[in-house]
């Protein structure tokens, strides 16, 4: 009896493995089709000063799937990273953001805006990453100083000197760097002085503990203090409530991003937010 139950369990396991493998293969080929077929879109989430002024936006990718509708990055970025498809997808994101920056540069009421682009470690580690960014900037005519690349601490797990060299080459062009999800990864604080960083993003995990966990509040204050002393700009992400915003303002976070101000929205809606701000 036990043996047959084990056999059934094994058959069940094999069947569900097979289903998972098939689903993965389907998703992978759909991702290829999505890239070729222009199914990716960027949503823009504003970043605001403590006075509420919009200084720019983070661009976040979404997949307009022909059947499933709008798919969030959680549904495909991981597989894109595993398969390497994140490299061409990431270049598409970068190019699209740069085209937008160049368009804004002709509009006196838009030309001050910055765009933050997420760069996955896998993409950053490609040999020709620096050349390709330089190439996109040249082709699109975007002002490099308006472009901010968001990196994650996973880049600091190995080959750190290569990472620093690449960042330095791009920083020379004027490109800015932000450390995303700060404090949640594996980075050693000793790298903080070695990297040509301009900004750190306090992860929403910390922000969402404001008013709930006093110890986490102390950590946020320490992060903000460290960043200020190192002359780094601070962005708090995942700001959802007024009390969170007030805490962050009181403790010197410079920029905030989160649902309290806006969800990530399509370009036309972001543009409308800018118009509203200009009218005030």
Q: Which residues bind ligand C2E (CB under 6 A)?
A: 45, 60-61, 72-74, 77, 86, 90, 93, 118, 120, 150, 180-181, 204, 237-240, 258-259, 264
Q: Looking at beta carbons only, is 31 or 235 nearer to Mg ion?
A: 235
Q: Looking at beta carbons only, is 92 or 191 nearer to ligand C2E?
A: 92
Residue pair 65/30 in contact (Cβ under 8 Å)? The answer is yes
Contacted entry of ligand C2E, Mg ion, none for residue 145, CB cut-off 5 to 8 Å set by kind: none
Residue pair 50/253 in contact (Cβ under 8 Å)? The answer is yes
For residue 239, the minimal CB distance to ligand C2E (Å) is 6
For residue 1, the minimal CB distance to ligand C2E (Å) is 47
User: How many of the chain's residues bind Mg ion (CB under 5 A)?
Assistant: 4
Residues 157-196 that bind Mg ion (CB under 5 A): 180-181
Scanning 174-236, the segments in alpha helix (DSSP H) are 204-207, 214-229
For residue 206, the minimal CB distance to Mg ion (Å) is 11
Q: Looking at beta carbons only, is 89 or 130 nearer to ligand C2E?
A: 89
User: Per-residue contact track with Mg ion, 78 to 107, x per CB under 5 A?
Assistant: ------------------------------
Contact range with Mg ion by CB under 5 A, out of 43-51, 99-107, 116-124, 243-251 = 116-124
Is residue 118 part of the contact set for Mg ion (CB under 5 A)? yes
First to last CA, the chain: 76
DSSP run (H or E) holding 236: strand 233-237
Phi, psi for residue 144 in degrees, rounded to 5: -55, -30
Residue pair 179/151 in contact (Cβ under 8 Å)? The answer is yes
Q: Looking at beta carbons only, is 139 or 263 nearer to ligand C2E?
A: 263
Contacted entry of Mg ion, ligand C2E, none for residue 157, CB cut-off 5 to 8 Å set by kind: none
Give CA separation, 252 vs 44, 153, 189, 255, in Å. Answer: 25, 23, 20, 9
Residue pair 113/56 in contact (Cβ under 8 Å)? The answer is yes
Half-sphere exposure of 192 (CA within 13 A, CB side): 19
Q: Looking at beta carbons only, is 97 or 113 nearer to ligand C2E?
A: 97
Contacted entry of ligand C2E, Mg ion, none for residue 148, CB cut-off 5 to 8 Å set by kind: none
Q: Of 150, 171, 199, 235, which one interacts with Mg ion (CB under 5 A)?
A: 150
HEC string of 114-175 equals: EEEEECCHHHHCCCCHHHHHHHHHHHHCCCHHHEEEEECHHHHCCCHHHHHHHHHHHHHHCC
Rounded Cα distance, 229 and 211, in Å: 25
Which residues of this chain interact with Mg ion, rule CB under 5 A?
A: 118, 150, 180-181
């Amino acid at each position: 009896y036990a043996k047959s139950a084990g056999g059934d369990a094994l058959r069940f396991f094999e069947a569900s493995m097979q289903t998972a493998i098939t689903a993965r293969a389907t998703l992978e080929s759909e991702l290829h089709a999505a890239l070729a077929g222009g199914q990716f879109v960027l949503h823009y989430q504003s970043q605001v000063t403590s006075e509420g002024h919009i200084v720019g936006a983070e661009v976040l990718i979404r997949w307009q799937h022909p059947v499933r509708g709008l798919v969030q990055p959680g549904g495909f970025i991981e597989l894109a990273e595993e398969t390497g498809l994140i490299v061409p997808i990431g270049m598409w994101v970068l190019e699209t953001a740069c085209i937008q920056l160049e368009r804004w540069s002709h509009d006196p009421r838009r030309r001050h805006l910055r765009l933050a682009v997420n760069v996955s470690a896998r993409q950053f580690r490609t040999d020709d990453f620096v050349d390709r960014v330089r190439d996109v900037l040249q082709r699109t005519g975007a002002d490099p100083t308006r472009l901010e690349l968001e990196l994650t601490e996973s880049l600091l797990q190995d080959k750190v000197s290569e990472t620093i060299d690449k960042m330095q080459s791009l920083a020379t062009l004027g490109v800015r760097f932000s450390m995303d999800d700060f404090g949640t990864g594996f980075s050693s604080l000793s790298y903080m002085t070695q990297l040509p960083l301009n900004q750190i993003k306090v992860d929403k995990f910390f922000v969402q503990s404001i008013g709930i966990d006093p110890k986490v509040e102390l950590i946020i204050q320490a992060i903000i203090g460290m960043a200020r002393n190192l002359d780094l700009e601070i962005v708090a992400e995942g700001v959802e409530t007024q009390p969170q915003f007030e805490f962050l303002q009181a403790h010197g976070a410079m920029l905030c991003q989160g649902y309290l101000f806006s969800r990530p929205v399509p370009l036309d809606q972001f543009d409308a937010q800018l118009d509203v701000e200009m009218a005030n």
